[in-house]
Amino acid sequence: MDLQRFQPVPREALAGQEIPRPSTTYWQDAWRRLRRHRLAMLGLTVIVVLILLAIFVPMLSPYSYDQQNLSKAYQPPSAEHWFGTDNLGRDLFVRTMFGARISLAVGFFSSLMAGIIGIIYGAISGYFGGTVDNIMMRIVDVIYGLPTTLYVILLMVVLKPGLKTIFIALAITSWIGMARIVRGQVLSLKEWEFVLAARTLGVPPWKIIWRHLVPNALGPIIVTMTVEVPAAIFTESWLSFLGLGVSAPIASWGSLAADAYQNLRTAPWTLIFPGLFISITMLAFQFLGDGLRDALDPRMRK
């Protein structure tokens, strides 16, 4: 071999092959795009602040959420009572923050149930297809066709009205949308080459579902779980407003609004603050969901 025929590559020729910036993973790039989404970061900040307020305000406040003082009934907002008092003289600020515990707990529980049940149900239905898919989707259609209020009323025949009844009702109904979304994603992904290769190698179906299909559908799953939280909070609010929610003296935003509705003209602050927090929370989760939808979309990666 004639070594004279080989020459070192000039440094100028390598300049165009330099990597302009370090490579990032999918999740690192998604977090970078999410941080650039101002409304999403605003929503995330509001959610974190609400969680901290719900945890620490009832613990640190000198007032209790069920502490009654009839001599201070219907006091307007002041330095002593920031949100005023209700018909029994209870501090509305503490009760609103305690209600945030209940409402956020309902929202996160519903999102968790939607994730667990919906992912399992939708993945199995979409992967096996055929008769299995038809039967499972008809069951979904039957459950979806009955309103949540009917489930709550039927559960109240067996159980007492309260938080437990709402949890069970949301666990029955919250996973329907997630199951449909996961099913659609799995139906699309299972025809890709990497799934066909796994089948050829003899990988069991459950490993294909949990190691290949579900991880590749995490983007829509996370967005759906995020949007499910405000939907569950709103559901709990109107159920409590109708008297089907938590029982006194436990407070949620919906029960606070229901108690204040009759005294809207004489004490409007008793309805304004719970309604305001419901609206802010729903907007915050919607902003975060929109940001996650854009951040987790691989087509927007640069």
Radius of gyration of the chain (CA): 26
Write b or e for each residue in 212-221: b if 16 or more Cβ atoms lie within 10 A of its Cβ, otherwise e.
bbbebbebbb
pLDDT in tens, 220-275: 888 888 888 888 888 887 777 777 777 767 778 888 887 777 777 778 888 888 88
Q: Is 170 domain-assigned?
A: yes
22 domain residue, yes or no:
no
The pLDDT value given to residue 48 = 93
Examine residue 270 and state whether it is found in any structural domain, yes or no: yes
Rounded (5°) CA angle 224-228-229: 130
Are residues 165 and 155 in contact, defined by beta-carbon separation less than 8 angstroms?
yes
Q: How many domains does the chain have?
A: 1
Say which CATH number the domain at 185 has.
Answer: 1.10.3720.10
Q: What are phi and psi of 144, to 5 degrees?
A: -70, -30
Residue 9: inside a domain, yes or no? no
Over 90: is that where the pLDDT of 45 sits? Answer: yes
68 in a structural domain = no
Structural domain harbouring 143: 38-57+83-297
Structural domain contains residue 73: no
Cα separation, 27 vs 24, in Å, equals 8
| Position 202 in a domain | yes
pLDDT digits (tens, 9 = 90+) for 55-99: 888 888 888 777 777 777 788 888 887 888 887 888 888 888 888
Residue 32 in any domain: the answer is no
Tell me the C-alpha distance between 181 and 123, whole Å.
9
